[in-house]
Every structure is written in structure tokens, then in C-alpha cells.
Structure 1
């Protein structure tokens, strides 16, 4: 594949991650975990259009239920009287949905490249261009936030943990895309909701 394809893919992937992470600033983790499921119907639509993947009616019915649930989450955030879940839930919800859409575009593009190009090439160039784009963006958009961080062990550990998790995630994603496709990848990621609940309860002592 041409190198500029990977630049575009890297940009889409970086912005997907940025928007979803940024959403935590405005809405609750519960809303983020639920709304990022929007990537599933988005992936199914994109794979149907561009990769000619066929889906049975039961899967389509599942997508309809998923979308209905997303609408209910957004509706509850818009009309909730209690804003303790975030400073601006509506803005956070929109950021998550936008990020999930970009995730879907990224996943489907990666599936196409994994199945039609070299997997090592994909991982190498996506990592390279993604790192460059991230460095440029954070130096412009999040410069003041970086300056305000007091770098202690407690502050650095979450950054290290997140970086390690993302490294492992992106190392195994191409393998799963090659084996099962982007739809199965996004369905598998639903287990992250369960782990988020477990971590909130036992690590942060939240209910």
C-alpha cells in the first residue's frame, strides 16, 4: 500500500483515540463505555458497503437493539437532572460517538490492509505515523495540560499503564482482524465494559 494511506489511517486512528479519551473529561465512564458500542453498527455498515460482508437478519436485529440502547443513553444524559456524571454530558456523548465512528473507519481499513497487504508493514507504518501525529497534536492542543502535570510516581503510573495497554492492544489487533474481521473485534471489545466495572469497584472503590 502507498505510504500516504498509512498517514491517513494513522490520523484517523489518533483522532479516534483522542476524541474518546477527551470525552472522559465531560461525561461519565459509564456513558463512554456504552456509547463506544456505536463502533459495532458502524463497522457492520462499512464492511457491508466496502468489503461486501454479508450479515443475517439476527445480526441486523442485534444492531438495531444496540442503536436503540445508544439513543436511550444519550437521551438520559441530555435530560438528566444530576450532572455529577460529568461537566457536559452532551458534549462528551458526541465526542464518544464521533470517536467510535472513526474507530470503525480505522478498523475496517486495517482489516482491508491486513488481508490484502503486509501485516508487519501495517503495524510499522501505523505506529510510526501515529506517533508523529500524536506528538504534533499534543504539542499544540494539550501543551498547557502537559506543563501543569506534576510528574510523580503516582502521576506517571497511569500514563505508563495506558501506554502498555495500547501497545499490547495494537500488537494483537492485526492478528484478530486477519482471523475474524473487524466486526468480531468490536464485539470482543464489549468485554472491556465488564472490566471497567470491576476496576471501578475494586481499584477506585466506586459504586
Structure 2
């Protein structure tokens, strides 16, 4: 029933590799954001603003050079950018109100949201192998949560209830954004998608910064040490969204959402090698479990109806050969005698 050779296909291997590159980029962006927060800078929207500007400049320039017609409605991109900007904003704000353990656990809410949305709007069919992979991936994240609790990460945050609702809302917006991008990148154009998401994301971000973060930016003592983290996040956001569209087009938003579950494990490796911290042994088991879940999700599962149909055809061919010979079989399949 299961074709294990499906994992060897080029498309699947590229999807797994891109997913982990995106997961590592997400981890790097999160670590840089945490370093900015440690300096007392409360500017979540400002951190991603330059990334949107970079997307608008690079991909907008490509669009102008091509002089290609717009394939989708402009307001579709406006709504997508709004959802994307606010999703990032809500999750960053959640870290200020609840614990990292709660954020990690509740962020998994994006997975069932993506599965339901792709099933309803994109008509994506999920089989038993896909669902099994999803369950195993979530089990890996639960192990990380238990590891944090075991290690003593019980900080509840200033307002855990508010923070938990912010995570759930942000994860829901992430799911909507990912599925919308998958739809647009397949129906419209990848360059067009990135150009307009960057343009509208920058506009929405600028408005939000002028209202909520203007005082925080004025209080920053700008220097090379303060500028470099923002530039690093901008480059990371640009690379993240550029590679994201490739993965969405080839493997879909569900594969992308599952791939991001390993970002917590990459964070562990950074803590080990960059900060020389000791981590609980459950982290290693969690990483392996999540990786296995991704591989299982990527495997191809034969359709039962197709397999039964193939078995019937084979039996008929054997019967034709045994009773009537090769000429009779050729006539039945329409070949000239």
C-alpha cells in the first residue's frame, strides 16, 4: 500500500531540504529578535519592515523590467499582506505576555488550520500517511515542551491568558497567510506575489510603526551595533519569503508549516554551539521524532482504488494470454492484428 520509493523523488527531497533551510532562517530571525528585545527595544513591526521594503524593491524591479500584466487582483495582495504583518506582530507580542513553552505548544494550532483550509479551498486530499506524519511531528513538539518543563522553564509571563490568545490568533493568521500564498503562487506569479506582498507589507508596517512604535524608535541610540540586527532580520525576511514561495509551489503550505516545527530544535543546536548551554536529552529525541514525521508525511501512498484496478487488469491479461494467446489480447486492447 505504501510506495517507499516516493521519498527518493527529486521533488520530495527538494521540499525537505527547503523546509529545513526555512526553519533555520526562522530560528535565526527569532534569535536576532530576542537579542533586540534584550536591549529593551519594543518594536516588533519595525523588525520586519525593512524585509518587506527589500522584497518590494527587488521583486518590484523585476516586474517593471518584465513589464508583465498583473495576474491577480491587487486587493488580494493587500489583504494577504495585512494578514501576514499582523500575524507576525501578534506572535512577537505573545512572547511578552506568556511563556516560550506556551507559545511553542499553541503555535501548533496553525497545522490543523492549514489542513482544513487547503482541504476546503485548494481541494488538497490528505491520506492516512499524511495524517500519520502530522501526528508524529506534533508529538515531537510536545516532547520539546515537556523538556522545557523538565528543565524548569515555568515562567508564566506577565499575562499568560492574553499571551495564549495572541498565539492562537497569530497562528490562525499564519495559516490563512500560508494557504493564500500557496493559492496565489500557483494561480498567479511568484515574482508578482513577492513584489505586492513586499509593497503592501511595507505600507501597512509604516502606518503601524508611526502609530505604535515611533517613541520606541526615537529612544534607540543608533549605532553600528543597533543597526546590524535590523539589517540582519531584513536580509533573513527577504530570503525566507523568497524560498517560501518555491516550497509552497512545489510541496504546499502543509509541508511548510510542518517543516517549521523543527525551528525549536535548530534553536537548541544554536544554544549548544554558540552559547555552550546544556540541554535536556528529550530535545534530541524530539528532533528525531519530528524529522521522521516529516519523512513519513512526504512519502507517497498508493490509492487503494488504483491499486485494486491495477490488480484486476493484471489478472485479466494473464487470463487472456492463457486462454486465447497473444493475438486475442492485442485485439482486446485495440492493437492491429
Same fold (TM over 0.5): yes
Normalised by the length of structure 2, the TM-score is 0.53
Alignment of 1:39-188 (within 5 A): 39-60=110-131, 84-188=155-259
Is 1:34 paired with 2:76? no
Identify unmatched segments of 5+ residues in structure 2: 1-71, 146-152, 279-337
Normalised by the length of structure 1, the TM-score is 0.83
Identify unmatched segments of 5+ residues in structure 1: 75-81
- List structure 1 runs of 4+ shifted beyond 6 angstroms: 64-71
Structure 1 residues 163, 187: closer, same or farther in 2, change over 3 A?
same
CA shift digits 1:110-146 (9 cap, x unpaired)? 1111111111111111111111111111111222222
| Alpha-carbon offset, residue 25 of structure 1 | 1.4
Is 1:11 paired with 2:82? yes
| Alpha-carbon offset, residue 91 of structure 1 | 1.8
Give aligned pairs, total: 201
**Alpha-carbon separation, structure 1, partners of 2:193 and 2:160:** 35
Root-mean-square deviation (CA, aligned residues, Å) is 2.8
**Alpha-carbon separation, structure 1, partners of 2:98 and 2:197:** 29
**Alpha-carbon separation, structure 2, partners of 1:147 and 1:204:** 31
Bigger radius of gyration among the two: 2
**Alpha-carbon separation, structure 2, partners of 1:185 and 1:135:** 28
| Alpha-carbon offset, residue 62 of structure 1 | 5.7
Bigger relative contact order (CA 8 A; separation at least 6):
2
Query: Does the 8 A contact of 1:38 with 1:67 survive in 2?
Result: no
Query: Does the 8 A contact of 2:141 with 2:261 survive in 1?
Result: no
